[in-house]
């Protein structure tokens, strides 16, 4: 499974690498000269479900209990899954040196 680049439609990166993507830094596409990035909106939406589960586990379950740790684990997994499966990516063209 891999992530396709919106610009060149070829493989931009393996899917697991999306876990390390953030709105702060774009990553170069593996196939072309563009950068792929995520927006704050898509990033926050992708991790929102996991964050809510995480927060509920913190607020609702007994502190230090096994269930609370399971809740944290579930929240974490949902955040990662959200990033890999539900986070749209965008491409920006990097101006090549010859254009300058």
- Residues of this chain that interact with Zn ion (CB under 5 A) are 5, 7-8, 29, 31-32, 34
Residue with CB nearest Zn ion?
A: 5
Residue 22 Cβ vs Zn ion, minimum distance, rounded to whole Å: 19
DSSP summary character for residue 4: E
Phi and psi at 69, nearest 5°, equal -65, -40
Closest CA to 92 of 5, 4, 11: 5
Comparing CB distances to Zn ion, the nearer of 34 and 78 is: 34
Residue 17 Cβ vs Zn ion, minimum distance, rounded to whole Å: 14
Q: Report the DSSP pairing between strands 2-4 and 11-14.
A: antiparallel
Closest CA to 39 of 27, 52, 17, 22: 22
Comparing CB distances to Zn ion, the nearer of 5 and 47 is: 5
Comparing CB distances to Zn ion, the nearer of 31 and 68 is: 31
Residue 47 Cβ vs Zn ion, minimum distance, rounded to whole Å: 24
């Amino acid at each position: 499974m891999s992530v396709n680049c919106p610009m060149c439609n070829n493989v931009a990166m393996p899917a697991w690498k999306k876990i390390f993507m953030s709105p702060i830094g774009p990553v170069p596409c593996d196939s072309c000269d563009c950068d792929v990035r995520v927006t704050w909106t898509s990033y926050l939406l992708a991790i929102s479900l996991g964050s809510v589960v995480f927060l509920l586990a913190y607020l609702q379950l007994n502190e230090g209990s096994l269930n609370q740790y399971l809740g944290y684990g579930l929240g974490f997994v949902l955040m990662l899954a959200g990033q890999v499966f539900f986070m749209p990516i965008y491409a920006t063209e990097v101006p090549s040196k010859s254009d300058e």
